[in-house]
Structure 1
């Protein structure tokens, strides 16, 4: 794989085989950032579970102490008073059945999170094959299927992130921007890891956190010593 000059320069700061403490790892991610834009910092956590089994799913959401550095665009499926409530809370888009053809036929995805009131899930369910693969399907576990749309919209706008396993049993989640600096990134990282650890399924056996890597959008990954993470 071709790597640019900036990437190679950044990689010199990091020992590939070394496992770093989380604060040192995030400090390196900030120092290694060479891009001309404010890169997103992501955490990649491999878990010792099997996502093929329903009782070993790991999914949830958390409001990061310092947000993500990005204001999410929110689509709310609601009617009547709840639709008005969503508008007042600052939702970017609010609607019901009339949005179905726009999403299905026009590839409309100008939003980052979808919220729905429980009574609208029959409608939203028809979009499962479209929203599901993009990770946009509302879920009670993530707090995006709720009657309290004001709370849902406010939390999302203030930096709520959803974490969920992919098919390879890895969670990929942003914890902020390089411009946050080490301290804020560490606080966000610790909040996310605590939530993931609390979400450990009862059916999970053996080592829960297999590996943990942090990286900026364009930078090399830095491995974290997972044995230092409370398990």
Structure 2
């Protein structure tokens, strides 16, 4: 009888010890898989060549795409690009359906709605384009004119955007809202607008495709960064990583 009891006791200790070993193994495996796990990220993309755009093969390219690709390779990120208009990208950033929005201007007002990297990618300006042969040379020349602007673009509604400037100088004009910069330049070319606002880099890239003139009017220098849904749990990690690699790339 004693031998049976001893055998059962030994079996209980053996099973208990085996469970501890298995649990310990599980913990180790979990730690290893956590270290090696891929981070899946949704990145908002709109058409703003040369900063970020979709090429004819459907591949996302541009300055921001190169930065994202570089960091993703270093950190093992899996990137899913979510395409849309500028306004759609902002809405997705606001509601948290994307993790990162590339190529977005930093303003204090926007920083109350989104989180940003600390590092700036580059600085850009607003550029006004006008009809071929137009005499528009200064802001006062925009009196009673029609101006094509992209919905929610910083050069449209930002603190130093064209609307604020027209208000500041007491200039009466009509704004025609469009979805993309290309639409603004097309509106100028087909004379449905007297002028159109795009960012300087986009204008330099595409101005020769249209029968339009680049005016001398430049305004609103703005820092371009990466942005994230406000207070999202991944933000400290993502901001830290992107800032780190941006500092590295600038050296």
TM-score between the two structures when normalised by the length of structure 2: 0.24
Select the structure that is richer in helix. 2
Select the structure that is richer in strand. 2
The structure whose Rg is larger is 2
Task: Work out which structure has the larger RCO, using CA pairs closer than 8 Å and 6 or more positions apart in sequence.
Answer: 1
